[in-house]
Amino acid sequence: MNTPQSAFRLSKDEYGGTGKRLFIGLVAGTATLLCLLLLCIWLIPTIGFAAIHPWLPVIAGVVFGGAILAIIWLSVGLVLHAYTGKPVLGTSRLRGITIRLLLPLMELMGRMMRIPVSTVRRSFIKVNNELVLSANIRCEPRQLLVLLPHCIQSSRCTHRLTYHIDNCVRCGACPIKDVLGLRDAYGVQVAIATGGTIARRIVVQARPRIIVAVACERDLSSGIQDTHPLPVFGVINERPNGPCLDTFVSIRRLESAIRRFIGME
């Protein structure tokens, strides 16, 4: 832990992989399609509404027009937030809408445009991280949970760590030794999850205020959705041996995130 403090400055670009332009483009495209869809839904039955009551077209116009304006406000706010890195137009409270609504629609649009799903998810994780950072969350070390995937453990290890991470003998064959070093140095919680069900149980037991999760794009995206409204800061793992086998994580990036959220930066 003798690394100079300047090395711990949190660089947002390190935690997202893909740049913001993909997210901005997908948000703009998704918003445009939603607005056109709502406009068509409003225009098609307008004549029939008028036959029922002369005020129905006006009421329908107000409802659908309000929905279109809300989508435009949401999209513009998120785009500006992603571009500037600062909450604008109330976007600091829009993380839930981004997680619940936009991610599935962005993945659908990405498939239509033949953009790999993993690329879309990387972009989503990056913007989610910036939304979490902009909330300026600070907590006690014991209120921060570092959640690791089981594939970070060496496949040749004979020790079971899922339920008792302290069974690790710290041989250095995998990154868990260094992660436990961070736990001992800063006093945060560390756990390993083999899947979504165990991860949710760990979160219920640990009762953290914020989670720093290490995983692949798919697991991070689903985990961010599952644990909402609990904030999750995602650190994408490194997979030199392919998916789900002897993966790695940048300890420097992980330590930077820990220091940021416990108020040491």
Q: What is the pLDDT of residue 258?
A: 96
pTM score of the predicted model: 0.74
137-261: CATH topology is Rossmann fold (3.40.50)
**Averaged over 242-261, what is the pLDDT?**
93
Return the residue matching tokens 């004549």: 47
- The end-to-end CA distance of the chain, in Å, is 15
Give the pair of three-digit tokens for residue 249: 């994580």
Supply 66's token pair: 């309000």
Q: How many other CB atoms are found less than 10 A from the CB of residue 168?
A: 18
Query: What does the pLDDT average to over 59-77?
Result: 79
Give the tokens for residue 22: 């993909």
Return d(Cα 36, Cα 43) in angstroms, integer.
10
pLDDT score, position 8? 44
Question: Once rounded to an integer, what is the mean pLDDT over residues 193-201?
Answer: 86
Return the pLDDT at 159. Answer: 87
Question: pLDDT (tens digit, 9 = 90+) per residue, 163-183?
Answer: 789 899 999 999 999 999 999
Residue 123: pLDDT above 70?
A: yes
The residue extents of the domains of the chain are 12-133, 137-261
User: Using CA of residue 135, residue 123, residue 215, residue 13, what is the dihedral sign?
Assistant: negative
| Cα gap 210→233, rounded to integer Å | 8
Task: Give the CA angle between residues 27, 125, 191 to the nearest 5°.
Answer: 155
- Which candidate, 236, 227, 192, 222, places its Cα nearest to that of 208? 227
Average pLDDT over residues 230-234: 93
Using the predicted structure, report yes or no on whether residue 50 has a pLDDT greater than 70: no
